[in-house]
Copies of this chain bind each other. A is one copy, B any other.
Amino acid sequence: MKVHFLLFAGVTQLDLTGPYEVLARAPGFEIELVAKTAHPVRSDRGLMLVPSTTIALAEACDLLVVPGGPGTDDAILDAEWVEFTRRQAATARYVFGICTGSLLLGAAGLLEGRRSSCHWQAREFLPYFGAITSEDRMCVDGNLYTSGGVTSGIDMALKVVAILCGPAVAQEIQLQIEYDPEPPFPGGTPRTSEAHIVQKCLAATQARRTLREAAVRKAAAALPAQPPRRALCSE
């Protein structure tokens, strides 16, 4: 099972490192971090990760993992990332979008008419790419697995290991990483967190959300024309 994680500047590192820790423990899974160059890549909060291969050198993979983060806003307008995502997804058995990684899947034309989840602060942008928005922590549509924000990628990776390798393997990994979580507060989603906490988060990201919307509109406009939805449904 060849697994490729996209590694772009401004990635939210836990979107990548959480599922990495789970998938790297599954028997027979080989992981590559694919970047534009061989140079280390900086996460949105300063962690430097070293890629193991590059867009130019990467071969086909079985599982493509697209993490999210503020860097997605650049990646969805970057022809090299968009084209690579489209190409890798075309031959992968499974495609993951973690957090706002779904937006890059959208920009690659992979969400048209499909159900998708996303970080709660960016779900509103999925319809620009023709996606049917899911509010679930994990959403499955065919071979497309998308999760909510950041930590939900850990849950999704465990669930997919259970599907691909059997529940016992996933349960062993869950025990190895001592994953019996005790979040300190109720919350963690806009439905479960207190309203004033949700408002504070939204206010803090208002400026970025405006920029993101502009980027999403531009990326959606660059998509090749799709056949009308009805035609897809009648297939």
Chain A residues near B (Cβ < 8 Å)? 12-14, 17-18, 20-21, 24-25, 31, 33, 40, 45-50, 52, 99, 119-120, 137-138, 148-152, 154-155, 158-159, 162, 167-168, 170-172, 174-185, 187-190, 192-194, 196-198, 200-201, 204
Q: Given A18-B18, A20-B47, A155-B183, A150–B175 Cβ distance below 8 Å?
A: no
**Which of B14, B171, B177 contacts A17, CB < 8 Å?**
B14
Q: Do B150 and A179 have beta carbons less than 8 Å apart?
A: yes
Query: Is A172 in contact with B200, judged by CB distance below 8 angstroms?
Result: yes
Given contacts A180-B137, A187-B171, contact A21 B45 (CB under 8 A): yes
Smallest CB separation, A166 vs chain B (Å): 12
Asked if residues A180 and B171 are in contact (CB atoms below 8 Å), the reply is no
Assess whether A178 is in contact with B189, with CB atoms less than 8 Å apart: yes
A200 engages B47 (CB within 8 Å): no
A155 nearest CB neighbor, chain B only: B182
B176 touches A190 (CB 8 A): no
| Interchain nearest-CB distance for A194 vs B (Å) | 7
Chain B contacts for A184, CB-based, 8 A = 155, 158-159, 162, 170, 174
A137 to chain B: closest residue by CB: B182
- Given the known interface contacts A162-B184, A167-B185, A170-B185, the answer about A175 and B151 at a Cβ–Cβ threshold of 8 Å is no
Residues of chain B lying within 8 A (CB to CB) of residue A137? 178, 180, 182
**CA A48 – CA B32 in complex, angstroms?**
11
Residue on B nearest A177 in the bound complex, by CB: B150
Contact B178 A149 (CB under 8 A): yes
A162: nearest chain-B partner, CB-CB:
B184
Residues of B within 8 A of A189 (CB): 175, 178, 180
A18 — which chain B residues lie within 8 A by C-beta? Answer: 14, 17-18
